[in-house]
């Protein structure tokens, strides 16, 4: 399918010259002659590439505003800025705002087309990579042997025959959407759509449009997520980001099982199973008045809590092996061995959770196809920031009494082992060579708490 280029310039001669050049190259074109036309064209349908004149009919920086508008909708779309009043400051401002290239009028036609061709190729590569990652994500399994993951797998099975609403909590990157997709895959609604509405990415003014849709004056209809998900599942991701006013309307939908589109006169019946997720502490959000308690109780018929990856370190080796095999096959790359780095990876704090681990494996797969242990270790160390937790420092111990130094070492050693064994005291006691009861006493004496 041919790429589509949007040309925005208030000078008809230049607009037509660019259009003829791009048409001749085999691309589709759309044009806009002023700021408002451009805004309408962008909102109607995003192009694959945009060529924008800096100065239109409203002001000196119209083009920069349109560039920012496009980038808010999709940061990957390449935008070429052109200007007849160019200076270094303007060029820098354009590039800092996310422009793909900047070109001055009068421009060399061949140079402009080189920019266009590179922009099209760039967007295609990004889109293909995202599609591949999306397809790959949809085939991922829920991997882990920790009590938390075993419990979640059991919950998913039990929920397969239910229509209950589900509330999934867990830190960013822990796999909340993956859990929701697994529920959909084995539910009675598996043949219906799975629609994701990301509360964190929406413009505050567009929540209701995205949820309920709109009836236009010309008779056309914009369908919202509730209708798009009819017969299937709607995942409202980061639900705590939704404004309170919209929360009250969602509560009304759950109560009445119907809603009206914006500017609509007719009730639309709801036939959708709602799953919500959040990376925030929902009880704190309710306490501080950011989320309605009555809405939470409506949504939280069944709750699933995903623990951070650093609370279930026994899952890390399994995830490494799984992602290594999956990603290598997907990209047709050679396999690689990460076992020499297991201790390093298990001790890392993983602020980005499973997503951060998966991204690391993908980076290694692409950058280290030769399976060089030194190169892999370098990639691991460069990619992962050191844990912010305080570590045992031998030099510091030289200035404190032996008893305090021993206690500091024991505390850090036992904390690390506790994390490594996922809070399993029996396994940990066996590994370090202590009686289980003696280990309990030692942990209590040092103030080392078990994993939550």
Let me know if residue 144 belongs to a domain: no
Q: What is the pLDDT of residues 90-117, one digit of tens each?
A: 778 888 888 898 888 888 899 999 999 9
In a domain, 227, yes or no: yes
168: CATH: 3.40.50.300
Residue 417 lies in a domain: yes
Cβ-proximal residues to 235 (8 Å cutoff; 6+ apart), any chain: 177, 180, 194, 195, 196, 197, 275, 276, 277
The domain boundary, picked from 364, 383, 402, lies at 383
Q: What is the CATH number of the domain that holds 59?
A: 3.40.50.2300
293 shares its domain with 169:
yes
Kindly report, residue by residue over 394-424, the tens digit of the pLDDT. Answer: 545 555 666 666 777 778 778 877 777 777 8
Candidates 28, 32, 19, 117; CA nearest to 70 is 32
Q: Please tell me whether residues 64 and 176 are part of one structural domain.
A: no
Triad 184, 185, 191: Cα angle to 5°: 85
For residue 390, is pLDDT > 50?
no
302 plus 331 within the same structural domain: no
Write out the chain in H/E/C secondary structure. Answer: CCCEEEEECCCHHHHHHHHHHHHHCCCEEEEECCHHHHHHHHHHCCCCEEEEECCCCCCCCHHHHHHHHHHHHCCCCCEEEEECCCCHHHHHHHHHCCCCEEEECCCCHHHHHHHHHHHHHHHHHHHHHHHHHHHHHHHCCCCCCCHHHHHHHHHHHHHCCCCCCEEEECCCCCCHHHHHHHHHHHCCCCCCCEEEEECCCCCHHHHHHHHHCEECCCCCEECCHHHHCCCCEEEEECHHHCCHHHHHHHHHHHHHCEECCECCCCCEECCCEEEEEECCCHHHHHHCCCCCHHHHHHHCCEEEECCCHHHCCCHHHHHHHHHHHHHHHHCCCCCCCCHHHHHHHHHCCCCCHHHHHHHHHHHHHHHCCCCCHHHHHHHHHHHCCCCCCCCCCHHHHCCCCHHHHHHHHHHHHHHHHHHHCCCCHHHHHHHHCCCHHHHHHHHHHHCCCCCC
Q: 435 in a domain, yes or no?
A: yes
Q: Domain with 374 in it: what CATH number?
A: 1.10.8.60
Domain of 442: which CATH number? 1.10.10.60
Q: Are 330 and 424 found together in one domain?
A: no
pTM of the model: 0.60
**pLDDT band per the 50, 70, 90 thresholds, residue 387:** very low
Q: Given the structure tokens 């280990």, which residue do they identify?
A: 439
Whether 249 contacts 295, CB under 8 Å: no
As given in the structure block, the two tokens for residue 337 are 């061995």
Same domain, 177 and 215: yes
Predicted confidence band of residue 378 (pLDDT cuts 50, 70, 90): confident
Same domain, 187 and 212: yes
Same-domain check for residues 247 and 298 = yes
Q: Is the pLDDT of residue 326 over 90?
A: no
Domain membership flag for residue 146: no
Asked if residue 103 is part of any domain, the answer here is yes
Bridge pairing between strands 214-215 and 221-222: antiparallel
Whether residue 258 is found in the same domain as residue 297: yes
pLDDT category of residue 219 using cuts at 50, 70 and 90? confident
Residue range(s) defining the domain that contains residue 83: 4-135
Which range of 36-50, 142-156, 189-203 scores highest in mean pLDDT? It is: 142-156
Q: Do 67 and 97 have their domain in common?
A: yes
| Parallel/antiparallel/unpaired status of strands 28-32 and 79-83 | unpaired
Q: Is residue 148 part of a domain?
A: no
What average pLDDT does the chain have?
Answer: 84
Output the pLDDT for position 279: 93
Q: What is the band of 374 on the pLDDT scale with cuts at 50, 70, 90?
A: low
Bigger pLDDT: 391 or 71? 71
Q: Domain boundary residue among 243, 278, 306? A: 306
- pLDDT of 130 > 90? The answer is no
Query: Same domain for 124 and 217?
Result: no
Q: Kindly state whether residue 154 falls inside one of the protein's structural domains.
A: no
Q: Chain centroid to CA 169: how far?
A: 15
Residue 295 shares a structural domain with residue 427: no
- Please indicate, yes or no, whether residues 402 and 301 belong to a single structural domain of this protein: no
Domain count of the chain?
A: 4
Question: Where among 248, 274, 306 does a domain terminate?
Answer: 306
């Amino acid at each position: 399918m041919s790429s589509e280029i949007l040309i925005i310039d208030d000078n008809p001669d230049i607009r037509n010259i660019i259009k003829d050049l791009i048409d001749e190259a085999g691309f589709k074109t759309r044009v806009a002659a002023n700021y408002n036309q451009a805004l309408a064209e962008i909102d109607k349908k995003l192009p694959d590439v945009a060529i924008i004149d800096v100065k239109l009919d409203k002001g000196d920086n119209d083009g920069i505003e349109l560039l920012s508008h496009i980038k808010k909708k999709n940061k990957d779309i390449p935008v070429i800025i052109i200007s007849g009043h160019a200076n270094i400051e303007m060029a820098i401002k354009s590039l800092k705002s996310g422009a793909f290239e900047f070109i001055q009028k009068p421009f060399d036609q061949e140079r402009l087309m080189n920019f266009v061709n590179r922009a099209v190729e760039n967007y295609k590569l990004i889109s293909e990579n995202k599609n591949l990652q999306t397809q790959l994500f949809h085939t991922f399994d829920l991997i882990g042997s920790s009590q938390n993951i075993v419990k979640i797998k059991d919950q998913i099975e039990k929920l397969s025959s239910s229509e209950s609403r589900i509330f999934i909590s867990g830190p960013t990157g822990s796999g909340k959407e993956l859990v929701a997709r697994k529920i959909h895959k084995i539910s009675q609604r598996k043949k219906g759509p799975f629609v994701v509405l990301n509360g964190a990415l929406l413009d505050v003014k567009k929540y209701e449009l995205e949820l309920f849709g709109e009836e236009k004056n010309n008779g056309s209809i914009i369908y919202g997520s509730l209708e798009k998900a009819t017969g299937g599942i709607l995942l409202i991701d980061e639900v705590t980001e939704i404004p309170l006013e919209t929360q009250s309307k969602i509560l009304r939908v759950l109560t009445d099982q119907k809603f009206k589109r914006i500017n609509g006169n007719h009730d639309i019946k709801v036939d959708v199973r709602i799953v919500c997720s959040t990376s925030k502490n929902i009880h704190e959000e309710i306490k501080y008045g950011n989320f309605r308690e009555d809405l939470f109780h409506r949504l939280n018929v069944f709750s699933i809590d995903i623990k951070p990856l650093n609370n279930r370190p026994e899952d890390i080796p399994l995830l490494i092996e799984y992602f290594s095999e999956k990603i290598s096959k997907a990209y047709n790359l050679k396999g690689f061995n990460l076992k020499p780095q297991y201790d390093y990876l298990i001790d890392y704090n993983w602020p980005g959770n499973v997503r951060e681990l998966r991204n690391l494996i993908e980076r290694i797969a692409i950058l280290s196809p030769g399976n060089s242990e030194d190169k892999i270790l370098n990639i691991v160390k460069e990619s992962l920031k050191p844990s912010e937790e305080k570590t045992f420092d031998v030099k510091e111990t030289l200035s404190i009494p032996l008893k305090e130094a021993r206690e500091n070492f024991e505390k850090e050693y036992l904390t690390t082992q506790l994390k490594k064994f996922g809070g399993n005291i029996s396994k940990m006691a066996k590994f370090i060579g202590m009686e289980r009861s003696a280990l309990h006493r030692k942990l209590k004496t040092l103030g080392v708490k078990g994993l939550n």
